[in-house]
Amino acid sequence: MKIETRYKRMTSLNPISIADIVLLLLIFFLLTSTFVIQQGIRVKLPKAFSEESATPDRITITMTEEGQLFLGDELVGLDNLEVLLKKGIEEMGNPLIVIRADRSIIIEKAIRVMDIVREAGGEKLLIATAPIER
């Protein structure tokens, strides 16, 4: 005795379902690919035509408008910056040093931080900028 069922096997996929899935994946990848890794400290960067390249081996020094100095996410003073930088440079083995200074910072303060980086042994130095909107 053969029992018949009302349900039949699906022999083809519905193209509309596949299109929905592909579009959702496309939207997901477009949204997540535009995220840029930035430090949590807000500064107004100066504008430039060239963009900063993201490298994994880097140390970021941030100078805020209020005159605060951050090494990574840690608030540091100008007097102990060199010691902390030496330790970081030795651990990472000649990393890229990125200075993120607010555009209203007096250039003399930025030059002083650059001198400290050189004294600590930093060879590769980069000043972060924001891209110019065309």
User: Which residue in 83, 38, 28, 79 sits closest to 60, CA to CA?
Assistant: 38
Instruction: Provide the strand spans (E) within 2-57.
Output: 47-48
Q: How confident is the model at residue 120 (pLDDT cuts 50, 70, 90)?
A: confident
- The dotted CATH code for 47-131 is 3.30.420.270
What confidence score (pLDDT) does residue 130 get?
75
* 90: nearest Cα among 120, 56, 126: 120
pTM above 0.85, yes or no: no
Has residue 53 got a pLDDT over 60? no
Tens-place pLDDT, residues 61-106: 989 888 889 988 889 988 898 889 888 888 888 888 888 888 888 8
